Amino acid sequence: MNVFSQVVFDGPLTGTTAVYTSPQLNALIASAEKYMLQARVAQVAGTTPALKVTMERSNDGNDFENGNNPQSKLISVPLNPNTTETFYGQDLGTSTVGGSFARLTITLGGTNPSAHLKLILTGRDS
């Protein structure tokens, strides 16, 4: 059963600095046990651009676990400049116990990357 389906990010990205979903969504994102993520990427530029989206969890909403845990990776894909692409990822809730808060970490890779990204996250209970 769906707990939620929500646009959790919709905007431009430039550079390789990590960007996070809004803190107002942290409790909602953590309310599910399984996730499906849809990423629509447009206006891609840069040399060898790539997209990585991971989930980080927290018990206090301030200190989040490191999203480099391979089990927290939802999407990790190369991007094609000057295209619009859609990617899907999921977390079936089998690898980690979540906290009361969760957020998505969005990172572009490559040299001088930029893109417009829309993320839609659906959460389900088991």
Nearest to 116 by CA among 78, 83, 77, 75: 83
Domain containing 101: what range? 2-124
pLDDT of residue 125: 85
Global pTM? 0.91
CATH at 25: 2.60.120.260
CA pair distance 72, 79, nearest whole angstrom: 20
Per-residue pLDDT for 93 more than 80? no
pLDDT value at 70 more than 70: no
Domain count, the chain: 1
Tokens of 83: 């295209």
